Amino acid sequence: MDGNGRWAKARGKERIFGHIEGAESVRACLEAAVEDGVKYLSLYAFSEENWGRPQAEVNGLMELLIKYIQEEIDNMMSHHVRFVVLGHRERLSEKVNALIDEGMAKTASNDGTTLIVFLSYSGKWDILQAMKKAACELSPEQFQALEIKDFDRYLVTAGIPDPDFLIRTSGELRISNYLLWQTAYTEFYFTDTLWPDFRKPQFREALAEYARRDRRYGKVK
Ligand code: IPE
Ligand code: MG
């Protein structure tokens, strides 16, 4: 979800207004995902690198996150949405973590769309923490015998299928340390639309483009 700051700047406003408007896009895209039967909707909301932004912006984003969770959990319940947060949770405040835990517990048995919000996430961090976890859990022999298909279970996304489709807004053409391992065969979609302008029609246009992709996984069809 990229381009909130530029969206605000183009209107002569502070960056936080872009983030506030971006939260509306989250609502809209989640609604479209639920309506269209998307099983998993993942949002890269805050990266490990984003901690390096000015403190006021980090605080503003955390406040928005708190507000979003407080306002949306009931709505998620009525739409059978399961809310999941993944990332380096230790870096989040106690208040944010408590709200996340509460939201996750409340929605845990919902069987509709799973909404995964990646917070304080980094793809390299995920791979490293997975390797450390595997090294702790397994004997040296088991560790040596570890196969690619068995590595998934140590990543924070354990049990969640790899993404079929990845949308990046705002014209940037990079992955910015998002799901590095998990996107090995993901279809990418880049659009110049800034995240606050990315609403239901844009989401559905992207899904239509996905439907036209020919996925061969390196094989011949
Ligand atoms: C994306 O918008 C939101 C977050 C990373 C939290 P940006 O804040 O990156 O907006 P630009 O890239 O400065 O326009
Ligand atoms: Mg950006």
Quote the ligand 1 centre to 3 CA distance (angstroms).
Answer: 5
pLDDT in tens, 131-145: 999 999 999 999 999
Q: Which of 64, 58, 133, 54 is nearest to 91 (CA)?
A: 58
pLDDT, tens digit, for every residue of 1-47?
A: 999 999 999 999 999 999 999 999 999 999 999 999 999 999 999 99
- Pick the ligand that lies closest to the CA of residue 174: 2
Does residue 6 have its Cβ closer than 6 Å to ligand 1? yes
End-to-end CA distance of the chain: 33
What is the model's pLDDT at position 119? 98
On whether the pTM is more than 0.85, the answer is yes
Q: Report CA(97)–ligand 1 centroid distance (Å).
A: 22
- Please tell me if the CB atom of residue 53 comes closer than 6 angstroms to any atom of ligand 1: no
> Measured at the alpha carbon of residue 64, what is the angle toward residues 29 and 111, in degrees to the nearest 5?
45
Phi, psi of 101 (to 5 degrees): -60, -45
Tens digits of residue pLDDT in 48-69: 999 999 999 999 999 999 999 9
CA distance linking residue 50 with residue 33, whole number of Å: 26
